[in-house]
Amino acid sequence: MEKRKQWEQSPARAIILDLDLGCDGLLKEIWRVKPKLHVCGHIHSGHGRQSLFWDDAQLAPETFKTSKKSGIIGDLMPSSRWIAAMRVIWYSLRNLISSSFGGTGTAGGVWINAALVYQNTTKIGNPPEVIEL
């Protein structure tokens, strides 16, 4: 039976852009299940939505964000993080060129962080996320 929806309190790590927060195990599970809709909350500053494509372009930044950091000096040495970073650049450029010529990918799903509380306050400040099924 195909799982089409998934709800969680905490988000998967690396799906939230520019934040190094969330659960590594949940990220692996989401890639295994590949739900059409994934809803979470908890990380208030990650409020919003993002298309999920379940392809190498989606995987590249997640691989980079979840790879082990070696510190300032260690990250200057060639490593698997360098390869992951180059993959992020490659797929970003490829997608930018493709979208310039009218190409768009077909999303495999939608990720929504429906946290209503704004940033690190206790005040409701984020708008509700509404999705039509």
Structural domain count, the chain: 2
Sheet holding 5-7, edge to edge: 5-7, 37-40, 109-113, 48-52
Tokens of 94: 């490829």
**Whether 7 and 70 share a structural domain:** no
pLDDT in tens, 46-80: 788 888 888 888 888 888 888 888 888 877 888 88
**Whether 114 and 83 share a structural domain:** no
* Residue 12 bridge partners (DSSP): 23
Q: With bands split at pLDDT 50, 70 and 90, how would you rate the model's confidence at 1?
A: very low
Give the C-alpha separation, 42 to 132, whole Å.
Answer: 22
Q: By residue range, what is the domain housing residue 93?
A: 56-105
**Whether 38 and 67 share a structural domain:** no
pTM of this structure: 0.69
pLDDT in tens, 90-133: 988 887 887 777 666 666 888 888 888 887 778 888 888 888 87
**Whether 3 and 19 share a structural domain:** yes
Are 37 and 109 spatial neighbours (Cβ–Cβ below 8 Å)? yes
